[in-house]
Amino acid sequence: MKVSTCILKMKTWTLLLISAGFAMTSCNVLDEEDVDCSVEYRVKFKYDNNMKFADAFANEVSSVVLYAFDENGKFVYQRNEEGDILAEDGYTMPVEVKPGDYNLVTWAKGKGDETFSIPVLTEGVSTIEDLNCKMDRIYSRAANGTAEVRSDLRPLFHGQLQKQSFSRAATEQIATVRLTKNTNNVRIVLQHLSGEAVDVNQFTFTIEDDNGLMNYNNNLMDDEELTYYAWRTDSGIADMDESGQRATTAVGVAIAELTVGRLVMENNPILSITNKEGEKVLSIPLIDYALLVKGYYNRDMTDQEYLDRQDEYTMTFFLDDNDRWASSSIIINSWKVVLDNVEL
């Protein structure tokens, strides 16, 4: 009995050692012939493509999906991570792929309700062309069934690293994927020249653009025109004093906030405000006006770089006694711009 028990224990320990050895050599990769457990591949995400030129990844991103495609564009690997781990100092994502060259694509999101849809890919079947991102929309009951966006969009980020080579030679490799933010907050402020209060309920605020479908490299794809509506409207009080001293005058203002998709130079989004009668109070090309103050920030930027870095636009319009835009000036992100020959 004692001899049999001893033999049984030896067999058990042998099986455990074999199992442990297999686990160490597999490294969670199915094809063991291409596995080198001494090599560790990781990806770092960086979001410094903003107006502060500082990495805000830990503060703004709450979920990340990394996709890897081989040299032929076939989908071979995906990893998702979300939550507090992304805010850890020095966070990097482990990537379990065979040595080789890959096209890495990332879609990342901030906090909020889901407002974008990304298709589920099939390993070895799907291609990089299948990886697009579509903004959710609703359709009005009107005869033409216009597509509308009426919610505060969840922050969306994109990143891509082409021809990333993971080598057998190094013991550790860290690739960096830089992110671009694709969502923008547009805040509209209406103020009477006379200082009288503005009733926000007398106006409708919209932005029209066809920028709701993006492909794997963040270029816009053909899409239907979207009408963005303000997801928040409010009335407020602004304390005004041009001398810069303690405020002495309170002015009633109307405030509307809209969130729109990526602004690109090839498109022409239109910001409009209409009154209760359906008459246009103003209608302007949003990008042209957004770029009016680019020079105040950095004249060396391209227009597209500025649009990608800047994700908040506050525009203050002044109304005359007839609730029409007095188009002699506008305040954009605290900069006052004097306008000439403006056409609505």
Residue 241 is assigned to a structural domain of this protein: yes
296: phi then psi, degrees, rounded to nearest 5: -70, -25
Sheet holding 100-109, edge to edge: 75-82, 63-69, 100-109, 156-166, 172-181, 40-46, 93-94
Could you give the CA distance from residue 330 to residue 41 in angstroms, rounded to a whole number? Answer: 51
Residues 38 and 112 in one domain: yes
Is the domain of 236 the same as that of 170?
no
Of 299 and 200, more confident: 200
Residue 38: is its pLDDT beyond 90?
no
Average pLDDT, the chain: 87
Q: Give yes or no for residue 129 having a pLDDT over 80.
A: yes
Cβ count near 100 (within 10 Å): 15
Compute the average pLDDT of residues 32-41.
63
Block residue for tokens 């889901």: 114
pLDDT higher than 70, residue 35: no
Look up the CATH number of the domain holding residue 82. Answer: 2.60.40.2100
287 is a domain residue:
yes
- Cα separation, 202 vs 251, in Å, equals 18
Q: Which is higher by pLDDT, 161 or 240?
A: 161
Has residue 218 been placed in a domain? Answer: yes
pLDDT at res. 206: 98
Residues 190, 300 within the same domain: yes
Residues 38, 67, single domain; the answer is: yes
CATH number of the CATH domain containing 325? 2.60.40.2090
Are both 84 and 212 inside the same structural domain?
Answer: no
Q: Is residue 91 part of a domain?
A: yes
Tokens of 190: 């209406």
Range of the domain at 230: 184-338
**How is residue 9 written in tokens?**
């224990």
Whether 145 and 206 share a structural domain? no
217 in the same domain as 134:
no
Q: Please indicate, yes or no, if residue 289 is contained in any of the structural domains.
A: yes
Give 67-112 pLDDT, tens digit per residue: 999 999 999 999 999 999 999 999 999 999 999 999 999 999 999 9
Residues 52 and 144 in one domain: yes
**Do residues 189 and 176 share a domain?**
no
Quickly state the pLDDT bin for 30 (edges 50, 70, 90): very low
Last residue of a domain, one of 181, 200, 215: 181
Residue 25 inside a domain? The answer is no
9 belongs to a structural domain: no
Task: Note whether 189 and 177 are same-domain residues.
Answer: no
Note whether residue 4 is domain-resident: no
Structure token pair of residue 208 = 């029209």
For residues 174 and 109, membership in a common domain is answered with yes
Q: Structural domain tally of the chain?
A: 2
List beta partners, residue 337.
330
Of 131, 166, 181, which residue is a domain's last?
Answer: 181
The reported pTM is: 0.85
CB atoms within 10 A of CB 151: 17
The DSSP-derived string for 230-276 is -SEEEEEEEEE-TTSSS--EEEEEEEEEEEE----TT---EEEEEET
d(CA 194, CA 159): 48
Q: Output the pLDDT for position 121.
A: 98
Interval 5-21 mean pLDDT: 37
Residues 199 and 173 in one domain: no
What mean pLDDT do residues 315-344 have?
85
Please report, rounded to a whole number, the percentage of residues in the chain having pLDDT higher than 70: 83
**Residue 327, pLDDT score:** 82
Q: How confident is the model at residue 11 (pLDDT cuts 50, 70, 90)?
A: very low
- pLDDT score, position 300: 84
Which of the listed residues 158, 181, 204 is the one where a domain comes to its end?
A: 181
